[in-house]
Amino acid sequence: MSPQAPEFDGQRWSNADDDRVEVVAADPAWPQRFAEEARAIADALALPGLGIEHIGSTAVPGLDAKPIIDILLLPPAEIDPHRLIEPLQQLGYQYWSENPDTTRMFFVKGMPPFGSGRTHHIHVMDLGEASRRLLFRDWLRNHPEDARLYAEVKHEMARRYPTDRDAYTAGKDEVVAQILGRALNPPEHHRDREGDEPHGGEIHGQDRGG
């Protein structure tokens, strides 16, 4: 019998005790885990021009994080993103079809009861939000003081809300807004040092590693 998808009763997800929030020390193996999964995704989707980016905290060297690889997919504009669902399901991802945010698609691998623990997330979103995610990642890669601040808040939220992912995420909103504000309006010396381009972590098409 297939596992039943988690249900939300208005207060709590039914799998909350098994699907706990845990922030762990940075693991240097995370980029390799991304690269391996990105290759599998690129092969499964076989979409010329597909962009695949490593985002989230595991994409920032030295940053403590939940041990879940967050992956941003950027399909070509002419492609219906719903074409991604079946191939990703074949790779073991669960698609959140009831996502109230209709501007995004979200996939999870390993989430209880379908697995023993989350290993990967896949995000598909509009280019504006995708750009903000990439900007946030790149800013943290280049600003260790903000990365440390973010890590402190994440550890505190994980201690406070170990079985409530929504509260954990909401608890980070203020610091994320602060850091993103600095990234969107950096001092002149930061602009001179960094430039405007994202720094690695992407696959475009099927012939480039992350």
Q: What is the pLDDT of residue 141?
A: 98
Q: What is the pLDDT of residue 59?
A: 98
Q: β-strand 120-124 against 69-74: which pairing, if any? A: parallel
64 token code pair: 């403590």
- The dihedrals phi and psi of 105, each to the nearest 5 degrees, come to -120, 140
pLDDT tens for 96-155 read 988 888 889 999 999 988 888 999 999 999 999 999 999 999 999 999 999 999 999 999
Q: 3-class DSSP state for residue 83?
A: helix
pLDDT tens for 77-92 read 999 999 999 999 999 9
Provide the CB-side half-sphere exposure for 71 (13 A, CA).
31
Q: What is the pLDDT of residue 189?
A: 53
Side chain identity at residue 178, one-letter code: Q
Given its phi and psi angles, is residue 56 left (phi above 0), alpha (psi -120 to 50 degrees) or beta?
A: left
Kindly list the distances between the CA atom of residue 132 and the CA atoms of 106, 158, 183, in Å, as whole numbers in the listed order.
17, 24, 9
Q: β-strand 93-95 against 202-204: which pairing, if any? A: unpaired
Kindly list the distances between the CA atom of residue 80 and the CA atoms of 47, 85, 87, 191, in Å, as whole numbers in the listed order.
11, 10, 13, 36
Radius of gyration of the chain (CA): 17
Burial of 79 (0-12, 13-18, 19+ CB in 10 A): middle
With beta carbons less than 8 A apart as the criterion, state whether 49 and 126 touch.
Answer: no
Q: Cα 110 to chain center, whole Å?
A: 14
Q: Which of 117, 31, 37 is nearest to 73 (CA)?
A: 37
With beta carbons less than 8 A apart as the criterion, state whether 85 and 62 touch.
Answer: no
pLDDT tens for 174-207 read 999 999 999 999 876 555 444 444 433 333 333 3
Q: What is the pLDDT of residue 35?
A: 98
165 token code pair: 């992912």
**pTM of the shown model:** 0.86
Side chain identity at residue 202, one-letter code: E
